[in-house]
Amino acid sequence: MVAAPSELTGTSAHCPNPDPKENLTTCNNNKQVCLAGSCSGSVCLKFNLEECFCDKPASAGDVDESCHQCCMYEGSCTSSSKIPEMQNYTMQYGELPIDSTDGTKILFQQPGTPCDDYLGYCDVFYKCRLVDSNGPLSRLTKAIFNPDLYENVFAWIQEYWWATILIALGVIILMALFIKCFSVHTPSSNPNLKEARKVSHYTNTLRRRPRGNNDMQMR
């Protein structure tokens, strides 16, 4: 809420509810205006203009105005820096772009503001970043639950049934060998089974034996 300061009246311990600021009072770093006590209006309203979205550049050499404060002017969506009524305001409250060569300030949108007709958002560098609706999780879900994928797998199994059987047998044999090799190191409470082998039994053979008294006497 955008409100005027509130002061104690001396008759109560609580501050009275503050009155909202007048409409069209600038707020949010002079990039928006107050409407009914809320900083939600475009600064274009201060100049009796309507806010709009500037298009992204058609070619690489054009200036990207998609994150500029744009207003409808003479039937077209125009950057505030090109509107005569807003040039003084833009020069006073705007920012100088990093790649500026003529010293012209730009009234940029706040980071996080929608741009390109709600297809993206402005980042901290005042670049319009398009929102990827097909994110990594969505692409992974579509890839896993794609019906065409399973149809291709079933067709391959029907055509190469012998290879499928060999792969299944290979997996079973590999699992059996894995269990056989590592079961000797797994402790068990069954008294009929042999005691589990310790891995350290094999590693100790690689260690250097400590010198005894006999070795010292031989030297």
pLDDT tens digit sequence for 158-208 = 999 999 999 999 999 999 998 888 776 667 676 776 776 665 555 554 455
Pair 15, 8: CB distance under 8 Å: yes
Is 169 within 8 Å of 161 (Cβ atoms)? Answer: no
Nearest-angstrom CA–CA distance, 161 and 166: 9
Q: How is residue 30 written in tokens?
A: 């002079």
Q: Is residue 94 predicted with pLDDT exceeding 60? A: yes
Indicate the helix (H) or strand (E) that contains 73.
Answer: strand 70-73
88 and 110 Cβ atoms separated by less than 8 Å: no
Q: pLDDT tens, 25-60?
A: 998 888 899 988 888 889 999 999 999 999 888 777
Is the entire prediction scored with pTM above 0.85?
Answer: no
